[in-house]
Amino acid sequence: MLMPTFTKIICVLGILLALFIQPVEAQLERRLATETQEVELTFHAPRHINLLTVEPLDKGTLHFAIMHTFGTIDNGVQNLFGIDNGANIQFSLEYAFSDKFSLGAARSSRDKFYNMFGRYHVLKQTQDDKVPLSVSLMGAAGINSNDYGFLMGDAPSTAERSSFAAQVMLGRKISDRISVQLSPMMAYFVEPMPIYLMQGDQNLYIALGFSGKVKITGKTSLTAQYIPNLNSDLRSNLGLGIDIEAGGHVFQMYFVTSQNLNEQYLLAGANGVPGEEFRIGFNVNRVFATRRSR
């Protein structure tokens, strides 16, 4: 049974978050519908399992996210459903310079990968459906900083370690309970060397991400993502999870077929067989106010 494992994860997260310094003002709170005609809270957080979303940050707020995936669950209790196996961890910070534009930085333990990214929110869905979709853009540039001193020849140069990603996010809140997002995305590696902890050997990867949530209580939703590669024979990414809002935090717990967390490796990395090689993962999202509200 996997539910006891989930219970343990929730307990551990609760203890860790109790140690967090409380911010001046928590921003992951519901706003009154009468304040604006724009649709609010299409998703619970700026991240949804692995993908960035159309959910913007308010100007002057900072989004801090901890993302974590473990080993595959197929060995069962012996390895505590993968928790004993090698993990991949990503920390990210994203700051909103306006209600439409934000910049972020992230660091993943897999290949010691640093990523700079930005989001721009082009359109926001309105309650009267005059604007039927929320549309956002994302661009990222990253570098693999792993130590390759063990190589007989020269280590990869800075240019050879570089990669880029882009994503268009098309989201719609269909009802108070159901939200969906379509995410055409691409990743480009200057030099996809075999020594990198990714499976693909192509320079360019194109994918189409699907994600959605179904609210089951006021602050809890079931979630899913599916990211099929369109120009490679790599297995597609599949994720199933649950989002829980609690005290200004958004906890996201899920099963996913990929250990990778940043956008580039998400498309070029390995994916297991759904149902056989799922991994347990979780995200912790927190938005802080860095200045007084208007």
Q: pLDDT digit string (tens) for 126-159?
A: 999 999 999 999 999 999 999 888 887 788 899 9
pLDDT band at residue 284 using 50, 70 and 90 as cut-offs? very high
Q: What is the pLDDT of residue 36?
A: 55
117, β-bridge pairs: 104, 140
Residue predicted with more confidence, 97 or 14: 97
pLDDT band at residue 78 using 50, 70 and 90 as cut-offs? low
Q: What is the pLDDT of residue 152?
A: 78
Assign 153 to helix, strand or coil.
coil
Q: What percent of the chain shows pLDDT beyond 70?
A: 83
What length does the chain have?
294
pLDDT at residue 13 tops 80: no
pLDDT at residue 12 tops 50: no
Q: What does pLDDT average to over the chain?
A: 85
Residues 6+ apart with CB under 8 A from 275: none
Q: Which 8-state DSSP code applies to residue 281? A: E
pLDDT at residue 80 tops 70: no
Residues 6+ apart with CB under 8 A from 288: 23, 24, 25, 26, 27, 61, 62, 64
pLDDT at residue 164 tops 50: yes
Calculate mean pLDDT across residues 47-63: 95
pLDDT at residue 286 tops 70: yes
Q: What percent of the chain shows pLDDT beyond 90?
A: 66
162, β-bridge pairs: 143
pLDDT at residue 103 tops 90: yes
pLDDT digits (tens, 9 = 90+) for 213-262: 999 998 999 999 999 999 998 999 999 999 999 878 999 999 999 999 99
pLDDT band at residue 292 using 50, 70 and 90 as cut-offs? low
Q: Where are the domains of the chain?
A: 3-246+261-289
Calculate mean pLDDT across residues 13-21: 42
Are the C-beta atoms of 185 and 10 separated by less than 8 Å? no
Q: What is the pLDDT of residue 15?
A: 44
pLDDT at residue 30 tops 90: no
